[in-house]
Amino acid sequence: MVRIGISGAAGRMGRELVRACRQAEGLELTAAVERPASEAVGRDAGELAGVGPVGVRVSGSLREVLDDFDVLVDFSVPEASLNHLALCAAAGRPLVVGTTGLEEAQRRRFAEAASAVPIVLAPNMSVGVNLCLKLLETAARALGLEADVEVVEAHHRHKVDAPSGTALAMGEAVARARGQRLQEVAVWQRYGLAGERPPGAIGFATVRAGDIVGEHTVLLALEGERVEITHKASSRAIFARGALRAARWVAGRPPGLYDMQDVLGLR
Contact, 73 vs 247, CB < 8 A?
yes
Catalytically active residues are 155, 159
End-to-end CA distance of the chain, in Å? Answer: 27
Question: CA angle, corner 169, sides to 163 and 171, nearest 5?
Answer: 75
Buried b (16+ CB within 10 A) or exposed e, 57-70: ebbeebeebbeebb
